[in-house]
Each structure stands twice: as structure tokens, then as C-alpha cells.
A and B are shown apart, each in its own frame.
Chain A
Amino acid sequence: MSQDPHDMDLAHVQGSSTFFVEFAHEGKLEKTSHAYFQVALLYTTRGGQRRVRVHSVRMPVVTTLSGVFEADLEATLMGYIHEAIGNSVNKGLQYARNAAQDRVQKMLIAYRRVCTSNVTSSLLMPSRLRLIPLFVLSLLKADAFVEGTTVPIDDRVQKLFLLMTLPMHQCVAYMYPTLYAVHHLPSDPKSGVLDPETGRCMMPTWQQLIFDSITNDGVYVLCDEQARIVYLWVGSAVAPDVALELFGIVNALDVGRTVFFDDFGEKLKNVLYACLMRDDGMRRFVILHEKERAEEAFFRQLKEENEGGFMSYDQLLVRLHHDVRKSMT
């Protein structure tokens, strides 16, 4: 809520409150000078003290188009999110989806023109923004922006409000769920143990959200930050020694039936604690077995596939490549 362009009136602001602001030029900046930004927050603490918090930033000025593409991934992704929220509320959901795709396409076309010296048929992307197409694809698959009526309207509105103030460090995990292959924990000496220096669990490597990553002899943990659910997916052909180490039982089919969280191995519990206990609340824990009906929700989180009917990642890349090449002719 704001009464004039320079002030934002906030009834309350929290540690997790996040705002995105866009800047516009009123004139031209000199190359030799710097640009300065200052944010001042006048507020009352919970104890009743009046405070002013001032953040000051100085940034260099760039005059070339190639310098503009030295952008930050997370802040740019926040820009896409906030633009999509504004468009979906003011101009309709379909407009918001098309605008987000168009913006990615136009950015890549503009970038391609900057690289006219390199004659190649490949799809070129700015180095720091190369994950933007994938994250925008995930954004279009989020409950807040997905097409159709599969998402109840109350859910969609709640997700929109949540996205409006999403903290920055949750942005990537919200768009692209983290997937861990925990069946490697018994053989990996560095994963699943607590770091003696920080007390945190050293997590396994992230897996890619494609069907190739899920095998029937594996056990996977997937953190869906949109629904705030942690899935434990158990394959149908888990090796007995792996199952014994992870769950304390030879037959992995008993997980969730006669074997529960407290029976799990120490390493697996460490990983699950790290996924379930977050600074903004606990997550729900769901155990799934291969070929169960409920595993549809698990596979729908594989953002690079076209599960659910929308584009897959390779289809998006081919389409962007085609559009960029067409614009050069």
C-alpha cells in the first residue's frame, strides 16, 4: 500500500517480508559516476522502540548492452514472479503466462543480437541468467499460474499472496524442488552426517528433476516447498543391504507400513530432519512406494518433464531456439 511513489506504508513488516521494486530512468547517468540507492525503514519494534534502519548501496554504471546482461539470477527471478502476479491480477492469467514467456524470448533475442560476432546455430544465453528459462517454466507450472481448474481458486489465491512476499532464499527451492538420492547414503561417507563446525547436516547432491533420475532400485527424498511436503519415494527393487542400512529392515516394502520414521537409519534421519525442520515451520512427511496411486503428486514435481500437460524443458528450449533463429533472418 503506498500513497505516493516514494513511500510504502506498511502496517507491519517481518523478518521474512520481501518486496520487489522496479526502477525507471529519469535521465542519463554518466559513465564515470556511480549510482546510489538508499532504503530507509521507520518502524516501531515489538518492545516499543522507534527505529530507523538505513541500507545504502553504491553500484557502478554500465553503458553497453552486454554489461546489462550481467544480471543476478535470483533477483531477476523475483522480477518475473512479481510481474506475473501483477499481470494475472490486472490483465488475466493467460496474459500473465504469455507475457512471461515473451519476456524470456525477447531477452534471448536481444542477447543474440549482442553476440553478432559469433556465428553459430546454438542457442546462446547470458551466463548468469541461463537458468531463467527453466525457472520461468517452473513458474508457469506453479499452482498460482497453472492453467485450467485443477487448482482450487482458494489455493491459487493463497499461493499468489505467498509468492508476493516470498523470501529470497526460498525462491529457488520453491520453483525447483530439491531431489536427493538417499540410497547412496550408506556408501557416501560425506553425506548425511552432521558438520562438526556448523552442526548442519551435509546433504547429498541434488538430482535433476527428470524421469532419468528416478530408478526402481532407488530411494528418493523430494522437498516440495510449494505444498510444504517432503516425499520419501521408495522403489520396488531396493537392494536388501541398502534397505537394511536406511530403514533397519531388509524389505523396503514395509516402509510406511510397519517401519516408520523412528526406525530409520541415522543418516537418513539427519537428511529428513534437515528437510522437515525449516525456519518457517515444519513440513509434512509423505511416504510413497513405486506404482502407488499417490505417486502422481511426486512425479508432478519433476519440472523438466511435461507431466500434467504443459511443455517440457527440452520442448521449451527447442521453441526458444527456433524463435531466436527466426528473428535473426
Chain B
Amino acid sequence: MYDPYGSAQRPEQPYYYPQGQQQQQPTQAVPSLTSWPQYTHPQYGAAPPPAATATATADAALVNNGAAMPAQYHDPYAFAPINGVQDHSNYYPVPNYAQQPQPPPLMPQQPPMPPQHQIQPQQQQTAGAVAASVPALPFTGAAPALSSRTDAGGSGLPTARQVEQTQQRRPSVGSFSPTHSFSQREQCASPIGRCARPPPKRSVDLKSAPNPRRDIPQRLGTEEIYTSSGQLPLSATGFIAVDDGNANPKFFRPTANSVPAEERLVKDSNVFFGAVLAPLCRPLHPREEVPLVEGRPPVRCHRCRAYISCHVRFTDMGRYWLCPFCSMSNEVGNEDFCNLDARGQRLDREERPELSRGSVEYDVGPYEEYALRDEKDAPIAVRPLHYLFLLDVSQKAIAKFLPDYVDALMRSLHEMAEYYPQCRVAFITYAATLHFYNVRHPRIPQLIVADVDNPFVPLPFTSLCWLTLGTDLDLVDAFLMRVLEYAEDLMESDCVDGGRCPGCHAGACGAARRPCHSVRTQGTTARRWRTEVEGATSLIRHR
């Protein structure tokens, strides 16, 4: 069953940012004032004329103050939630609102060339008020209208915003009577309860400022993309990337969709130019698995040693291929030759993953060029991974984590024995001294090395201590079940771990290729082995 992120979060649609619209404040305010008489509603026609006049004057003053003194931006914010309350009552006669005429925009709106999002304090307050009133709606009948209204606000249509502003200003007749606690109540997300902690007075309406709730899509559905499209969906919400010519963004995620042409662009923009690499990324959907090429060596450029890929171009009827990195023309070997089609693609492209996929894996065991080498540069025979466990058996470890750790270790090794029976494990325990064990002896005798400054291995480690999981699992169990027994017999309080690994000095680590300092961890680390693909003595080269 495909469960990439432990069901933590829902997979979402690709990360889409609607472009924010830029508008001039005075331009927005003037049409609203001009259009005020057009929005006289029959319900409010009965209002006394002096009150209406006073309201209009107050609105004009607010607009003028906002234009003249930026500090005045705080005043409209104080009324925004109160207006939200009034808007709640206004949302009831939704059909009447739909029939009202809309004024034409005075100035044509030109979309900005670069995509951008702007933060306008007043606009944010307006949007916040609208958003705040939506949860307060007691009935569901008008919900679609409210949703469309919110969507219109989100899209930033100038006409819709002018209408919204007018709607906001009209009910302000009654906005002078609510109390402060009422205002605080409306700032909460709930219409009934109050905030557990009172929100502070803010200069910016954070509900309309960029935040993950608003800007990261959380809709259902498993997003599927093709890698050659260059899309970079959010990893946090999950996606499936079908490899059709570029590496999966889970393996190689660049900081930008395009590469800057020169250094000046990177310096001037202060934007990172890099990539996140996770070459063995897990978990993966079955459709994202990397194909394995066996039986033929990787084809590489003679000059820069880059691997052949789906981005190379074949020339001279398929007899040569051009390296995309250094433009070298490489000859195609006889065993690799194939004819081209009318578009210059090889006819066997689909049968060769390295020519049709962005990610590919080669089995290079038979080729000595890729073998592990020792200090004398001689190839080392291929062998399974060896794990050397150094167990802290001091008093503190017994009291804190050792019992849980041994239990988790036993379970994990049993699980590992099923998948990788050829792996080998060995154990050394330590506190103030080093303790080696002859695990093949029925009574598992313990040999203590007290001189930790000049350590040595007191028994033939290679032949006695390494246990193969597939065949010696019972010996592993026998030892692990007695670790606590040994530890309680010793009852040492000191520890020689600090900063250096005693096993490294003893030389036993020479046979193991896993870092030794990771043993002092909780059980969760041990359990991680079940899903991980591990490599030893790995080498990453990127061009």
C-alpha cells in the first residue's frame, strides 16, 4: 500500500500562487465615494439623513487621513472586525445584493509583468473581515454566495473590491456602539467561544498576509506530474512524479525553475542558486522507482566522464553522441549502436532506461572500474554490509535506554534477517572499559580490556565475533538477551565514549563500514532500517 508520508498529511494539488493585483489607494477610495448614492438600499432608506451625512464625512476623513499620514492605517483596522459583525447581518439578504448594479472601473487594470504578491494593510483588513464573517454564518443556504464573494476578493478584481468597500462603509452607522469585548470576540475564529489568549493589536492583518493555511493547497487528490514539465510541487503535501526525461524533484530539487544566465543575476537578486539532493530518497510510489540496468556498463563521455543520459543528441546516423556537458562527440560502440528515427531519436530508446529516463541505476559489480579499493588501490571483493554495534552499558544507560534499545535492536535485526540475511553484525560493549565477547561459545565468555588508552582486540575478532543474520540469528538473540545481565554485573558508572570511539582504536571498526557513533540512540533509529536503502562508502559526484 502506497503510504509515502505515514498518512501525516493529505497530498495536495501543485503549489499554485494566484497573482495579487496592485491598486492605488486613492483610486480605490474615490470611486467608492462617488458610487455611494447608487447603493442606497431600501432597507437603509429609512435612516435619518443627518446620520448618513455624518457617515459620509467620516469616511472622507478616513480616506484623507490614510493618504496623508501612514500612521493612520491603524484606525481602520480597529473597525474592521466590527464591520465584520455588521456584514454578518447584511449577508442574509444575498439575492438583493446580486441585483445591485456595479460601477465600471475608472482605470483599466494592467497585470504586472513579473508575478508578485502585494500586501496592502487596508485591503488585508477588508479581506480579513470577509473571511472572519464566513464561519459565523449560521445557515448553509448562503454559503455558495459567500464562497464566491471570498473567491472574488482573492482574485483581486477591482470592481469586486470597490463593491466590498461600499458594503463595508454603509453599515458603519451602527459600528460605534459595540463594546471592546465584543470586538475581541469577533477577532476569534469561533462565533461562540473567545480566544484562549487575547490577540495583540497588529499593524498588519495576519489572516491576509501570506501564511501556509492560505497559500499551501490542502485539497484532496494525489497530484501526479511528469518530470519533463519542470513543475516543482510541494514536497510537504506529497506528489507522484512520473519520470519522462528529468530526474524526480524528490531526488534533485533546484532552487529555481530556470538557470540564471550569468552570475550578476544571482548576485543582484539575492536568490539562492542551488539544489537539494536526495539521491536515494524514500519513500517512493511504485511508479517512481528507478529502473535498474544490468548486463552492460554505463556509457560515459571520454572527456568529462559524464554518464550518457536522455539529454544527449545522436549524430551521424546514430554513430556518435554529443555530450551535453562538454560538447564532446563520442563514438557509439558497436554493441550499443542503433539506428535513429526521423526526429533523431534512437529506435530502441524505450528499451534503454538511460536514454528515456532522468534517473537510472546501473549494476556495476562486474566492472572493476567501480570496485571498492583498499589502501594499496587493489580492488576489494564485494561483500555484504557489516554492522558493528557499540553498546553503552554504564549505570546511566541501564537506567535510561539500554533495555528499550536492546529490545528494539532485537526486533530490527529479526526484520533485517528476512530481507538481508547475508548482512553481518558484531557487538562490543563499553563503560569505563571495553568488553569483547566470544559469541560463538555457548556461555559467551566476556573479555575485558581495561587499558583503554592502549586498546587491543583480545580475541580473533574476524572469525569469532561476526555473525551472519541469516544463519546465526539464534546466537544474536542469545547475546542480546544477556546484555543486561552483563551490564548489571559490571555496574560501572563512567563512560569512555566522550568524543571518540574506543572501537576505532581497537581496530575492530576496520571491518565495518557503518559509523560507530550512532549506537547511542533511541529505538526509533533502529526501527528506521526497515524502509531505508543504505549504501556504504558512497561517492556522490555532480556536474
Give chain B nearest CB distance to A283 CB in angstroms: 10
Complex A-B, nearest 7 residue pairs according to Cβ-Cβ distance, in ascending order: A15-B282, A43-B535, A217-B193, A281-B524, A79-B272, A215-B193, A55-B247
**What 1/0 flags go to A111-133 for Cβ under 8 Å of B?**
10011011111111111111101
Q: Is B194 a contact of A215 with CB atoms below 8 Å?
A: yes
Q: Is A107 a contact of B271 with CB atoms below 8 Å?
A: yes
Q: Is B190 a contact of A218 with CB atoms below 8 Å?
A: yes
Q: Is A125 a contact of B210 with CB atoms below 8 Å?
A: yes
Q: Is B8 a contact of A124 with CB atoms below 8 Å?
A: no
**What 1/0 flags go to A18-52 for Cβ under 8 Å of B?**
11111111001111001111111111111111111
Contacts of A51 in B (CB 8 A): 361-364, 535
From B187, B245, B524, A282 is in contact (CB under 8 Å) with: B524
If A12-B534, A208-B206 are given as contacts, then 15 extra A-B residue pairs at C-beta distance below 8 Å, sorted by A number, are A14-B534, A15-B532, A34-B311, A35-B259, A57-B246, A59-B259, A60-B258, A65-B269, A72-B256, A118-B22, A134-B211, A172-B212, A313-B209, A314-B203, A321-B119
How many Å lie between the Cα of A217 and that of B195 in the bound state?
A: 9
How many Å lie between the Cα of A149 and that of B271 in the bound state?
A: 32
Give chain B nearest CB distance to A96 CB in angstroms: 15
Q: Is B265 a contact of A45 with CB atoms below 8 Å?
A: no
Given A54-B298, A115-B112, answer yes or no on A24-B270 (Cβ-Cβ < 8 Å): no
Contacts of B192 in A (CB 8 A): 215, 217, 239
Does chain B have a CB within 8 A of A278? yes
Q: Is A52 a contact of B256 with CB atoms below 8 Å?
A: no
How many Å lie between the Cα of A200 and that of B258 in the bound state?
A: 35
Q: Is A18 a contact of B277 with CB atoms below 8 Å?
A: yes
Does chain A have a CB within 8 A of B499? no
Interface set, chain B 376-427, CB cutoff 8 A to A: 382-385, 420, 422-423
Does chain B have a CB within 8 A of A106? yes
Contacts of A118 in B (CB 8 A): 22, 112
Q: How many A-B residue pairs have CB under 8 A?
A: 529
Nearest-neighbor residue (CB-CB) of B423 within chain A: A46
Q: Is B222 a contact of A279 with CB atoms below 8 Å?
A: no
Does chain B have a CB within 8 A of A169? yes
Does chain B have a CB within 8 A of A154? no
**What 1/0 flags go to B517-543 for Cβ under 8 Å of A?**
000000011011001111111111111
Between A25, A62, A78, A119, the greatest number of chain B beta carbons within 10 A of the residue's beta carbon is seen for: A25
Does chain A have a CB within 8 A of B117? yes
How many Å lie between the Cα of A70 and that of B266 in the bound state?
A: 12
Nearest-neighbor residue (CB-CB) of B17 within chain A: A127
Q: Is A48 a contact of B385 with CB atoms below 8 Å?
A: yes
Give chain B nearest CB distance to A90 CB in angstroms: 18
Q: Is B189 a contact of A212 with CB atoms below 8 Å?
A: yes
Contacts of B230 in A (CB 8 A): 59-60
A-B pairs with beta carbons under 8 Å apart, 11 shown = A29-B259, A38-B542, A52-B362, A55-B247, A71-B271, A80-B272, A107-B269, A107-B270, A198-B3, A211-B198, A279-B283
Contacts of A279 in B (CB 8 A): 3-6, 283, 531
Contacts of A171 in B (CB 8 A): 235-236
Nearest-neighbor residue (CB-CB) of A176 within chain B: B212
Q: Is B195 a contact of A215 with CB atoms below 8 Å?
A: yes
Does chain A have a CB within 8 A of B176? no
Q: Is A53 a contact of B265 with CB atoms below 8 Å?
A: no
Does chain A have a CB within 8 A of B220? yes
Does chain B have a CB within 8 A of A207? yes
Does chain B have a CB within 8 A of A328? no
Given A50-B363, A130-B215, A208-B211, answer yes or no on A9-B539 (Cβ-Cβ < 8 Å): yes
Selected interface stretch from B34-42, B165-173, B365-373: B365-373
Interface set, chain B 160-216, CB cutoff 8 A to A: 187-190, 192-200, 202-204, 206-207, 209-216
Does chain A have a CB within 8 A of B251? yes
Q: Is A281 a contact of B528 with CB atoms below 8 Å?
A: yes
Q: Is A58 a contact of B206 with CB atoms below 8 Å?
A: no
Give chain B nearest CB distance to A40 CB in angstroms: 5
From A45, A54, A239, B359 is in contact (CB under 8 Å) with: A54
Does chain B have a CB within 8 A of A151? no
Q: Is B215 a contact of A20 with CB atoms below 8 Å?
A: no
Does chain A have a CB within 8 A of B138? no
Interface of B is mostly: loop
Selected interface stretch from A140-148, A243-251, A252-260, A269-277: A269-277
B-to-A contact residues, CB < 8 Å: 1-11, 15, 17, 19-20, 22-25, 70, 112-120, 187-190, 192-200, 202-204, 206-207, 209-216, 218, 220, 222, 230, 232, 234-236, 238, 245-248, 250-263, 265-266, 268-283, 290, 298, 306-307, 309-311, 324-325, 354, 358-365, 370-372, 382-385, 420, 422-423, 513-515, 524-525, 527-528, 531-543
Between A56, A127, A172, A206, the greatest number of chain B beta carbons within 10 A of the residue's beta carbon is seen for: A56
How many Å lie between the Cα of A176 and that of B538 in the bound state?
A: 33
Does chain B have a CB within 8 A of A241? no
Given A75-B275, A125-B210, answer yes or no on A315-B203 (Cβ-Cβ < 8 Å): yes
Q: Is A44 a contact of B535 with CB atoms below 8 Å?
A: yes
Does chain B have a CB within 8 A of A237? yes
Contacts of B260 in A (CB 8 A): 25, 29, 61-62, 67-68
Q: Is A20 a contact of B513 with CB atoms below 8 Å?
A: no
Q: Is A56 a contact of B359 with CB atoms below 8 Å?
A: yes
Interface set, chain A 181-207, CB cutoff 8 A to B: 181, 195, 198-203, 205-207
Contacts of A178 in B (CB 8 A): 9
Contacts of A218 in B (CB 8 A): 189-190, 193
Q: Is B542 a contact of A198 with CB atoms below 8 Å?
A: no
Q: Is A36 a contact of B311 with CB atoms below 8 Å?
A: yes
How many Å lie between the Cα of A275 and that of B6 in the bound state?
A: 8
How many Å lie between the Cα of A170 and that of B9 in the bound state?
A: 11
Contacts of A195 in B (CB 8 A): 220
How many Å lie between the Cα of A70 and that of B114 in the bound state?
A: 9
Does chain B have a CB within 8 A of A312? yes
How many Å lie between the Cα of A122 and that of B309 in the bound state?
A: 47
From A46, A211, A217, B199 is in contact (CB under 8 Å) with: A211
Contacts of A14 in B (CB 8 A): 280, 282, 528, 532-534
Q: Is B9 a contact of A61 with CB atoms below 8 Å?
A: no
Given A117-B112, A199-B3, answer yes or no on A131-B211 (Cβ-Cβ < 8 Å): yes
Given A52-B362, A59-B258, answer yes or no on A42-B532 (Cβ-Cβ < 8 Å): no
Nearest-neighbor residue (CB-CB) of B194 within chain A: A216
Give chain B nearest CB distance to A154 CB in angstroms: 12
How many Å lie between the Cα of A130 and that of B509 in the bound state?
A: 49
Q: Is A70 a contact of B256 with CB atoms below 8 Å?
A: yes
How many Å lie between the Cα of A289 and that of B477 in the bound state?
A: 44
Q: Is A58 a contact of B246 with CB atoms below 8 Å?
A: yes
Contacts of A206 in B (CB 8 A): 212-213, 216, 218
Contacts of B220 in A (CB 8 A): 195, 202
Contacts of A50 in B (CB 8 A): 363-365, 370-372, 382
Contacts of A110 in B (CB 8 A): 268-270
How many Å lie between the Cα of A53 and that of B357 in the bound state?
A: 12
Give chain B nearest CB distance to A144 CB in angstroms: 18
Q: Is B262 a contact of A168 with CB atoms below 8 Å?
A: no
Q: Is B207 a contact of A208 with CB atoms below 8 Å?
A: yes
